């Protein structure tokens, strides 16, 4: 990570804020895949970040802080399931989906990291492209609705959307771009919550 050149002192507010901005959304996605509850996922991730702040930890590099947070979130999710006394119900569901296995936990982390890269790429789009992509995929608006809202023509909306997708295709690796396509086409997963 280019922004993290030296050891990460979590008590340094700018370091902590940068770490939060980079990992909050992917960690919420990761927690959501375990809890299937958007609000609970956000609460767990915020609590893990708060505990990290209080701990005054120093990490040698970004990846160590990242691993620490993924493990903290995973443990907090399962602790929460235990506390709710619905663990047996979730165990059956999770076992049938193989989420408990370490391999599948790693898969979830990889998915969350691909999501992080996709969100960073979307965030780096030119303002109009970013806005059109947001309105199209996050809010589900039609080109006509977007044109009316932004005071531009439908063809401009279409051009901005195509321009944004072209830029993303150039900036992302092939697998990240395929993940973007899947991500943008997901329906009914409340995934848009993590793109706010």
Interatomic CA distance for residues 129 and 122, integer angstroms = 9
Q: Confidence class of residue 105 from pLDDT cuts 50, 70 and 90?
A: confident
| Average confidence (pLDDT) over 96-114 | 67
pLDDT of residue 139: 77
> What is the DSSP track for 91-112?
HHHHHHHT-SSHHHHHHHHHHH
Q: Confidence class of residue 85 from pLDDT cuts 50, 70 and 90?
A: low
Is the pLDDT score of 142 beyond 60?
Answer: yes
The mean predicted confidence, pLDDT, of the chain is 79
Decide if 168 contacts 177 (C-beta within 8 A): yes
Distances (CA, A) of 79 to 31, 72, 94: 12, 10, 14
Is the pLDDT score of 88 beyond 90?
Answer: no
Q: Confidence class of residue 148 from pLDDT cuts 50, 70 and 90?
A: very high
Is the pLDDT score of 79 beyond 90?
Answer: no
| Average confidence (pLDDT) over 48-74 | 88
Q: Confidence class of residue 74 from pLDDT cuts 50, 70 and 90?
A: very high
Is the pLDDT score of 12 beyond 60?
Answer: yes
pLDDT of residue 195: 44
Can you read off the two tokens belonging to residue 130?
A: 């970013």
């Amino acid at each position: 990570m280019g922004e993290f050149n030296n050891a990460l002192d979590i008590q340094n507010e700018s370091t902590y804020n940068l770490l939060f901005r980079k990992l909050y959304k992917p960690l919420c996605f990761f927690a959501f895949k375990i809890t299937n509850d958007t609000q609970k996922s956000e609460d767990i991730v915020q609590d893990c970040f708060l505990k990290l702040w209080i701990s005054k930890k120093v990490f040698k590099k970004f990846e160590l802080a990242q691993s620490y947070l993924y493990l903290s979130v995973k443990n907090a999710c399962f602790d929460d399931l235990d506390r709710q006394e619905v663990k047996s119900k979730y165990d059956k569901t999770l076992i049938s989906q193989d989420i408990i296995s370490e391999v599948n936990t790693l898969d979830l982390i990889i998915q969350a990291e691909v999501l992080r890269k996709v969100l960073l790429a979307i965030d780096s789009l030119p303002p109009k492209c970013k806005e059109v992509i947001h309105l199209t995929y996050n809010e589900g608006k039609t080109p006509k609705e977007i044109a009316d809202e932004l005071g531009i023509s439908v063809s401009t909306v279409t051009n901005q959307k195509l321009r944004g997708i072209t830029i993303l295709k150039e900036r992302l690796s092939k697998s990240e771009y395929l993940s973007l396509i899947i991500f943008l086409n997901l329906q009914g997963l409340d995934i848009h919550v993590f793109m706010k």
